[in-house]
Structure 1
Amino acid sequence: MNYKLSPFYIFLFIFSFGTKAQTTNDLLYEKKEFIVKSDTLLYRIMYPENFSESNQYPLVLFLHGAGERGNDNNTQLTHGSSLFASPENRLNYPAIVVFPQCPKNDYWANLSADRTVKPISFKFQNGGEPTKSLKLVMLLLDELLTKPYAKKNQIYVMGLSMGGMGTFEILSRRPTTFAAAIPICGGANPNTTKKYALNTELWIFHGAQDDVVNPQLSIEMVSSILAAGGTPNFTLFGKDNHNSWDSTFAEPNLLPWLFTRIKK
């Protein structure tokens, strides 16, 4: 006998599954505040199972996209947090994973944007003062790196969309810190790549049909890194629009590649 679920029960199943995943993330990622004088950075942090300060662990910094900005210290977990929180990945890749949250009136990268056109037209600065949010992230990172349990030769950064742009920017501002970086559907000023091209291994991702952040931005960054002597990995998903992070997180070699990058 065949049974057909009503749309209501299908919705209930999907909602229940999503709620369970979010609840798991809420439990695993501790809510924290990093305060510097009158400024506060909200962030979530997940420690490995059976965490011990006498051991050392890789550290992953994840920068979310513009849609996850806010002040709830929760929305930044929307994309990417489940990847690191799965039981299998926690077992195989024990790491300290940090998800800061950018407020709605700020960005990770120092840029201006013309949103009247599609894809959005971005103008990236080369140098200058970092945004307040990125400055706080770098100060938080500096503090975390003073901890004896942070493995200094396995510090990683990744991010999507606005966070992909922030990933490129933090590399240019901390060019000797990261063993590897994964910018997803991002971009930056190509002139900044010479600062880190020889110091950090990169795997850059974008969707060929992205109508929000032009894939040409990632192509230009790859070309500039190559010109500076770097050897980046680059994956362009032919059928993906802006949400190429879904295909990125489904890439089976993503975490094996990331956690085997060790800074010399």
Structure 2
Amino acid sequence: MPIEHRSGLLPYLFSPVSEETRKPAPLVLFLHGARDRGNDLNVLLKWGLPRFVDESNPLPYVFAAPQLPEGQTWVDRESDVIALLDNLIASQPIDPSRVILSGFSLGTAGAWHIAASHPGRFAGLVAVSGRVPKTLEATQLAALKEIPIQIFQGGKDEKLPIEDTEQIVATLRGLGGTVDFTVLPEGDHFIADEVYSNSKLQQWLVSLSRRNTPLVV
């Protein structure tokens, strides 16, 4: 079960890598959605990637999921997310070239922003049920072309027009980016359980390295 940590600027859930995994290991850093803000880390375990990690320990990657206070966004706390990343790399057996950033909904907007602002820090990006912030400039989007990206969206998500996501995918591909866009036809906004439990995505998370092309799984 992930461990609660309340030291530092953002409290977070943490799960170490499996003892059988060759170290240093990948890190998957997860940013939650709006309704999971607050001061109870247990709410993160109810669904999505944190629940998958909770039910699947041990895993071949280190996992961390910080929590926002009520009323804040990940863009507000960008520097604290990077500070947490630095702290984890310094204190855990993590390969800094194999850091994957993922977000759900509000967390996806944060993941896009943070990855575009610090593209050299991440080997991959997973965006679930979220939009790209309109504040991102073309130069920032261009910085993402070196980061493989997985985008997931429900076909019946009333909060996110498919056309908007398709436009971003086309823009990124036009810049030379590697983007996979998966639509779950019957899915609504809350598709995180189905997305993160997918074995192909789980394999993808540990297949990436900034130093080279994806490893063969």
Give the TM interval when normalised to the shorter protein.
0.7 to 0.9
> Which whole-Å CA distance do the structure 2 matches of 1:247 and 1:45 have between them?
22
C-alpha contact (below 8 Å) 1:180/1:201 kept by paired residues? yes
* Deviation, structure 1 residue 207: 1.1
Displacement of 1:259 after TM fit?
1.0
1:108 matched to 2:81? The reply is no
Gapped runs of 5+ residues in structure 1? 1-27, 110-130
Secondary structure, counterpart of 1:48 in structure 2: coil
Say which SS state the counterpart of residue 145 (structure 1) adopts.
Answer: helix
Name the residue aligned to 2:195.
Answer: 248
Q: Is residue 2:101 matched to residue 1:154?
A: no
Q: Give the Cα–Cα distance (whole angstroms) in 2 for the partners of residues 97 and 220 of structure 1.
A: 31
C-alpha deviations, 1:29-59, integer Å up to 9, x for none? 1111243xxxx3111111124389x931111
Which position in structure 1 is the counterpart of 2:121? 177
1:20 paired residue number:
none
Per the alignment, residue 17 of structure 2 pairs with 48
> What 5-or-longer segments of structure 2 have no aligned partner?
212-217
Cα deviations by residue, 1:168-193 (Å, 9 ceiling, x for unpaired): 11111111111111100111136331
Q: 5 Å matches for 1:198-217?
A: 199-217=146-164
The question of whether the paired residues in 1 share the 8 Å contact of 2:52 and 2:193 is answered with no
Aligned positions, number: 206
Which of 123, 132, 144 does residue 196 from structure 1 map onto?
144
Q: Report sequence identity in percent.
A: 25
Q: Which has the higher contact order (CA 8 A, sep 6+)?
A: 2
Greater Rg by CA: 1
CA–CA separation in structure 1 for the residues paired with 2:79 and 2:164 = 24
Secondary structure in 2 matching 1:211? coil
Q: Equivalences for 1:10-29 in 2 at 5 Å?
A: 28-29=1-2
1:230 aligns with 2:177: yes
Q: Which residue of 1 aligns with 2:45?
A: 77
CA distance in 2, matches of 1:171, 1:161: 15
Local SS of the residue matching 1:50 = coil
RMSD over aligned CA atoms reads 2.1
